[in-house]
Chain A
Amino acid sequence: MRVVIAEDLFLLRDGLTRMLQAHGLQIAAAVDNGADLLAAVTADQPDVAIVDVRLPPTFTDEGIRAALAARREVPGLPVLVLSQYVEQLYAHELLADQAGAVGYLLKDRVFNDDQFTGAIRTVAAGGTVLDPEVVQKLMVRHSRTEPVARLTPREREVLGLMAEGRSNAAIAQRLFITEKAVSKHAAGIFGKLDLAPSDDDNRRVLAVLAYLGS
């Protein structure tokens, strides 16, 4: 799998490159600003772009705008945005086109390399990955209102993990239950929230996020 990295801090760019190479990913380009990112994604056609939110010259939300611009340039380009902090506002903007192949994670998640490379693969395959911290805020917002309040604690756990973009298999592994139990919970949740059930993982994430984000 070919990856383009946009990260302005040398230490992090270098560390990320090494770690991904150690996991068998190929680094097509590692750049330190938004303009170079655009050039790299059009020239190299990578499978996924990993972009830091803060990039020169403004060091504000340059990365978000660069990621959205890159997706306009190369439609459907999988983009994983990394940030020192996560904001629902930015998550909304990244997910707005409903096309999937988007990830938004705290930089801390890089430390857990298995989960991190898992997230990269999910995004590259067209899936959606959302940081647990964003999902937690979404859940808190809905926890006291119907019908989320009617979900059992277990169902709420499963809903949160679905919103993070995890597959049934990943949820089963995480909660130490069988995949069959997960699909049963998922069906229950979709029934209570009045959402159309879907076997497609990505469509499921988007449905759940659209629900929680409303």
Chain B
Amino acid sequence: MAVLTSPRRTRPRFGPQAGLVAATRGVAFAALMAAGIGLLTLIVAAVFLIALGAGILIVGSGGPHEERVLLAFLAIGTGLSLIRFALPATLLGTRRLARLTRQLAGDWCGVPIAERYTPPPAGKLTYTERLRWLATDPVTRRDLRWTAANLLACALAAAPAAIIATGLIEFIGPEFTRLIPPPAFPGNTPRTLVVLGLAITSVGVLAAPALLRAYGLVARSILAPGGEAELELRVQQLTETRTEALDTGAAEIRRIERDLHDGAQARLVAMGMTLDAAGQIIDSNPDAARALVLEARDASVKALAELRALVRGIHPPVLADRGLADAIRALALDASARISLASDLNGRPPAPVESAAYFAVCELLANVSKHAEARQTWVDIRHTDGMLRIGVTDNGHGGAEPARGTGLRGIERRLAAFDGVLAISSPPGGPTAVTMEVPCALSLPKTSSC
């Protein structure tokens, strides 16, 4: 499931406060780096243990034979089981850290970094399936490269804090405590030391925002999508979603054809026959003819009702007339559950996106009324930074799992055709919050001559 990128893009400003904030954030980045290196160390340790075991077996120096074999197998066994645990843990861990870095680079450094992971295959994954999914994603290689490169890059982020600390502790510190010896160089009077210390500290503070931004840029050069492998993957994703979109479209057309054939068309044929019969007996038996005509009229009412229901399923009239917000408002009026709607749409998304979003909300609301036993549902529609965001939250009992039902997967697949994503949070006991995001532009609201 793809991550929801934060809309906030605060670029640190200059000035002492911004500098201190930036320096602190640099330290936080350094902590992320350390965590990443720790994860890599797990793999290194495992490989080292296996190599050690193999070495003992091959070289075979020291101690009696049985002990050596036992020691070797112990090392290899520990190494293998460590690998089994460490491989997915490291891959997932570095991915988490890389995602956090991407987000923080946007929030803290003012350098937003796009993210494009391969979505996990459907259903519950076995160990090997999961590993294959993680390992074959080209972004994983990117993340690993970043985790290693971060060891050097992090100097940029951590430098301001180090400079500030040096200024404070090494130069100003000795003035206040005897525990710290003053640095030894000619002319190190307490006064010059304090002046130098203040100068060093302010260099650190003033340079911090720029260095943090530089760190963000370095992170982007490694973490941002690009390159042939990722383009290939993108093509593959597009091919898949296109095929799915075409299949869904074709299935819809077949359903509509069947509904028309069995419904309205059949009724019209019957009406024609009834009217024909009425025409034949209109002179001989006017009363019976009138009854037949009334029957034909009733059939026409039924045919119209069926056509209406069909049209509603294809493209609801209110959606066509008024757009997403009012269509969902109409849906809420028809529903027996309590649904409140908040919308700040200032225009209309492209018709296919609008329709997909509408039916996704329909399905989510249907899910809520079927499974959640919620007292209240909130629908929230907004458009920011070229992204249509729809949240559907209920206060029911939670526990919704995309892996179990096909409904959520279906919505996810349909949104994927527009590069849209769906994220769900539904702990047992509730509440359930589903967030959908579809990148799109809004067209200006239609103005009418009336």
**Closest A residue, CB atoms, query B334:** A137
Of A80-88, A117-125, A159-167, the one contacting chain B is: A80-88
A22 within 8 A of B: no
Contact B322 A140 (CB under 8 A): no
In the bound assembly, the distance between CA atoms of A90 and B336 in angstroms comes to: 18
In the bound assembly, the distance between CA atoms of A62 and B322 in angstroms comes to: 11
Of A53-61, A94-102, A169-177, A188-196, the one contacting chain B is: A53-61
Residues 335 to 393 of chain B near chain A (Cβ within 8 Å): 335-336
Partner of B304, one of A34, A87, A108, A137: A108
Q: Is the interface of A mostly helix, strand, loop or mixed?
A: helix
Contact A87 B336 (CB under 8 A): no
**Closest B residue, CB atoms, query A37:** B450
**Closest A residue, CB atoms, query B297:** A111
In whole Å, how far is A35's beta carbon from the nearest beta carbon of chain B? 7
**Closest A residue, CB atoms, query B320:** A60
Contact A60 B322 (CB under 8 A): yes
Contact A62 B450 (CB under 8 A): yes
Contact A140 B336 (CB under 8 A): yes
Partner of B326, one of A58, A89, A141, A144: A89
A92 within 8 A of B: yes
In the bound assembly, the distance between CA atoms of A99 and B206 in angstroms comes to: 68
A71 within 8 A of B: no
In whole Å, how far is B51's beta carbon from the nearest beta carbon of chain A? 70
A25 within 8 A of B: no
In the bound assembly, the distance between CA atoms of A90 and B329 in angstroms comes to: 11
Contact A144 B336 (CB under 8 A): yes
Note all chain A residues with C-beta closer than 8 A to B300: 108, 111
B84 within 8 A of A: no
Q: Is the interface of B mostly helix, strand, loop or mixed?
A: helix
Known contacts A62-B448, A69-B450, A111-B300: A88-B321 contact under CB 8 Å: no
B305 within 8 A of A: yes
Note all chain B residues with C-beta closer than 8 A to A156: none
In the bound assembly, the distance between CA atoms of A90 and B330 in angstroms comes to: 9
Known contacts A61-B322, A85-B312, A85-B317: A35-B333 contact under CB 8 Å: no
Note all chain A residues with C-beta closer than 8 A to B308: 84-85
Note all chain B residues with C-beta closer than 8 A to A111: 297, 300-301
Partner of A61, one of B321, B333, B335: B321
**Closest A residue, CB atoms, query B301:** A108
Per-position contact with A for B296-315: 1 when CB-CB < 8 Å, else 0? 01001100110010011000
A2 within 8 A of B: no
Contact B333 A92 (CB under 8 A): yes
Contact B312 A65 (CB under 8 A): no
Residues 262 to 316 of chain B near chain A (Cβ within 8 Å): 297, 300-301, 304-305, 308, 311-312
Contact B449 A87 (CB under 8 A): no
A50 within 8 A of B: no
Contact A87 B330 (CB under 8 A): yes
A182 within 8 A of B: no
In the bound assembly, the distance between CA atoms of A141 and B312 in angstroms comes to: 19
Note all chain B residues with C-beta closer than 8 A to A57: 448-449
In whole Å, how far is A127's beta carbon from the nearest beta carbon of chain B? 23
Note all chain A residues with C-beta closer than 8 A to B335: 141
A48 within 8 A of B: no
Note all chain B residues with C-beta closer than 8 A to A60: 320-322, 446
Contact B330 A89 (CB under 8 A): yes
Note all chain A residues with C-beta closer than 8 A to B218: none
Contact B305 A89 (CB under 8 A): no
Note all chain A residues with C-beta closer than 8 A to B317: 84-85, 87
Note all chain A residues with C-beta closer than 8 A to B330: 87-89
**Closest A residue, CB atoms, query B305:** A108
Contact A65 B321 (CB under 8 A): no
A158 within 8 A of B: no
A186 within 8 A of B: no
Residues 395 to 445 of chain B near chain A (Cβ within 8 Å): none
Known contacts A66-B450, A69-B450: A89-B301 contact under CB 8 Å: no
B318 within 8 A of A: yes
In whole Å, how far is B99's beta carbon from the nearest beta carbon of chain A? 41
Q: Most chain-B CB neighbours within 10 Å: which of A34, A61, A144?
A: A61
Partner of B450, one of A34, A85, A87, A108: A34
Partner of A88, one of B297, B333, B336, B446: B333
Contact B333 A58 (CB under 8 A): no
Note all chain B residues with C-beta closer than 8 A to A69: 450
In whole Å, how far is A108's beta carbon from the nearest beta carbon of chain B? 5
Contact A88 B450 (CB under 8 A): no
Residues 23 to 73 of chain A near chain B (Cβ within 8 Å): 34-35, 57-58, 60-62, 65-66, 69
Contact B305 A87 (CB under 8 A): no
Contact B329 A89 (CB under 8 A): yes
- Enumerate 11 A-B pairs (CB-CB under 8 Å) in ascending A order: A57-B449, A58-B446, A60-B320, A60-B321, A66-B450, A87-B317, A89-B333, A108-B300, A111-B297, A112-B297, A141-B333
Pairs A-B, 9 closest by C-beta atoms:
A60-B321, A88-B333, A61-B321, A89-B330, A34-B450, A108-B301, A108-B304, A141-B336, A85-B317
Extra A-B contacts (11), CB below 8 Å, given A35-B449, A60-B446, A85-B317: A34-B450, A60-B322, A62-B448, A62-B450, A84-B308, A87-B330, A89-B318, A89-B326, A108-B300, A137-B333, A141-B333
